[in-house]
Structure 1
């Protein structure tokens, strides 16, 4: 475990999957965690209950991302809930996990699908960071969750690939810009992970084996595999690491 006592974290898309695992891990390490969700308040409450049952502290925030005014709405709720907890204003760790993908080659993608993919995967993090920076304390941590697909040619979800590539460029640029404040900005790039996103493919032995074969460990990743690395990036142990893309795909791109 790492010492995040006295830190406040916001994890977008943390009602399920990788986001939930990151929220739980940061809370276990001592952070007060804002669990963000879009519409699945039941799943968000489950994340909250799991955190509190383990002795951690958290609160939930419901807000749609990728729409006009999303950053303002999310941080208004964040400020309100933080005050209700009796916590000091401010933010130490910002994790962008919320995202969406549309499957299809370039000839199949619609303009609406492309715009939505860019809005949620790139535009939302951009403006959340913009609005969060005056709340973020010096020495803060920004962690962007990308994907192993940016290292591969994966034509069947081209809009998603383009969006995640933009997120990684945002990471490098901000790392240089925010270094003077001691704020680190890094990217996590998972491969196939066992979540609701991959549930249909892991439901059969054949589907699971096909996904596992991408990893050198012949295994499908677990949300905790990603969350444990996020915990390192959120801690003081990563103070000399910034602008990096950390591959957490189990060697899937080798």
Structure 2
């Protein structure tokens, strides 16, 4: 019986099924051995895993700390940037106000320049008119001055003539007075001479009155000439002032 069992077992082992079975049996034996080995080495593997986990945890903690520091640095940069942005905005606003003030100043200067240019044109036209009026008045003044000087010269000539006539009359009066003082004439001749003396005296008084009137006219003409000269000086000063203002 035992021999039959061995024979059957050998036959089974010689077939393909036996080979597959043997392979499965060997794999099972290896798995069993591996399981047993794993069971026998389990404490040592667990110890290595704990070390690796601790190492990984340490790295994660370091990385977390590094990222936290980076986050703090980024937040600090953000705050600094916001502050700098606020400062920059304030500087921009201040610079903008400065630029607006400069632009307004330039615009005011341009407007003043344009107004000044218009005023300058008007002033030049007014000055030209003043020059023309000055020339006209100067011509009229010169003509009037010439007439006054001619009238003054004429009056002075009349005065000289009157004074010469008065001198002649006084000489004749003196002569007649001498004749009266000589008492060489008769009464009729004395009366005639006395009448001539009285007539001469009246004529002398009349001539002297005429001389006084002529002298007054001469003085008036001189005053008119002085007034014209003063007016000429005033106009000249005004023209100089207008030229400076323009």
Q: Normalized against structure 1, the TM-score is what?
A: 0.17
Report which of the two structures shows the higher radius of gyration computed on alpha carbons: 2
Higher share of residues assigned strand: 1
Q: Normalized against structure 2, the TM-score is what?
A: 0.17
Higher share of residues assigned helix: 2
